[in-house]
Structure 1
Amino acid sequence: MNTDNSKLTITPLGAGNEVGRSCILLQYCDKQIMFDCGIHMNKENKGVMALPYFNKIDKIEDIDLILITHFHLDHCGALPYFLKNYKFKGKIYMTTPTKEIYGLVLKDSIKVKSEDFSQDLINEQSIEQS
C-alpha cells in the first residue's frame, strides 16, 4: 500500500542536467535528506546564479540532515552560504577527510579569486561558522 507518507521523492536542486551545483533533496516518509550543497563552477554562472535552486525547497527547516559526499567545490561550495542565509537546524555529515579539507578548499577559492562566486557568496567568517 503506497501512501503519500511512504512516497520517495528525489528533487535535483542542481546537477540535474549539468556538471556542477550538485545538490539533491531526497524525501521519504517524514524524513528529508539533502545530498551535497555545491556551487556551479561555470564562469557564466556568477553570484547567486551559481547556487543550487534552494527556492524549490518548500520548508528548509524540515530538512533533517545534509550529507556532503566529498570536498570538491561543486559538492560543498554553497554550504557556507546556505547555512548563513537559511534556517537549517539539522545535522551535517561528511567523512573525516572531507571535513579536514573542506575549509581549506573554500578558503583557497577565495584567495585564488578565479571562481567568481566566492567573493559575492562566501567569506572566511561564513566558512568558519559552517
Structure 2
Amino acid sequence: MASQGLTAVGAITLLVGGVGIANIMIASVNERTAEIGLRRAVGATQREIMLQFILEAVLLSLIGGTAALGVVHGLTVVITDTFNLPYKFDSKIAVLAVGSALLVGVGASLLPAVRASQIDPVKALRS
C-alpha cells in the first residue's frame, strides 16, 4: 500500500515538474522572440532553434532531477541515522528517477521548441 502511495506521489511530482518546465519554456520563447528572429535571419535553421530550446529543457531537467535526488538522499540519510533505520542507496532507482525527469523535461519542451522554430524571422524582428 505504501509503495502505491509513493508511486502516486512520484507521478504527481513528475506531472507538476513537466508543467513547470513547459511554462518556463513558453515564457522563454515569448521573451526571446527577437533573438530567435535574429538567429533565423543570420542563418540558423528551424532544427537548430528547436534543438536549442530542447537542450535548455534537458539542462533544467538534469539540474532539477540531480538536486532533488541529492536532497532526498541527504534527508533520508539524516532520518535513518536519527532513528537507527536501515537504508541502502540504490543507483538503479537513482538513474530511473533522473531519467524520468529528463524524459518529462524533453516532453514538456517539445511544443514550445517547435513553436519557437516556426517563428517567422521578419515578424519576430519587428516585435
TM-score, normalized by length of structure 1?
0.28
Whose RCO is larger (CA < 8 A, sep 6+)?
Answer: 2
Q: Going by fraction, where is helix more abundant, 1 or 2?
A: 2
State which structure, 1 or 2, has the greater radius of gyration over its C-alpha atoms. Answer: 2
TM-score, normalized by length of structure 2?
0.29
Q: Going by fraction, where is strand more abundant, 1 or 2?
A: 1
